[in-house]
């Protein structure tokens, strides 16, 4: 049985530093952008994220792409 994956949804997340908690541990906040084109490359998404970062109030910590896939039996 051959199984493959098919991406059905993609999301871009920008992770920002949001200060520190009472123990001094860094707190993070995310902004999510849904319905990202599944054909978008990692370079394209990173360029978009870094272009949007200066428009935000907080410091950009990380850029994440979350893909949801289904498993398909061939």
pLDDT digits (tens, 9 = 90+) for 6-62: 889 999 999 999 999 999 999 999 999 999 998 999 999 999 999 999 999 999 999
Domain that holds residue 42: 3-73
pTM: 0.81
Rounded Cα distance, 73 and 4, in Å? 7
Contact 14, 52 (CB under 8 A): yes
How many distinct structural domains can be found in the chain?
A: 1
Q: Compute CA distances 23 → 28, 31, 56, 70, whole Å.
A: 14, 24, 26, 40
pLDDT band at residue 68 using 50, 70 and 90 as cut-offs: very high
pLDDT score recorded for residue 74: 84
**67, 5 Cβ separation under 8 angstroms:** no
* Per-residue pLDDT at 1 exceeds 80: no
Length of the chain measured in residues: 74
pLDDT given at position 58: 95
């Amino acid at each position: 049985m051959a199984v493959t994956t098919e991406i059905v949804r993609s999301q871009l997340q920008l992770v920002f530093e949001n200060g520190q908690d009472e123990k001094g541990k860094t707190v993070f906040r995310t902004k999510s952008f849904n319905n990202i084109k599944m054909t978008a490359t990692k370079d394209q998404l990173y360029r978009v994220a870094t272009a949007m970062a200066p428009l935000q109030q907080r410091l950009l910590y990380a850029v994440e792409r979350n893909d949801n896939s289904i498993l398909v039996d061939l």
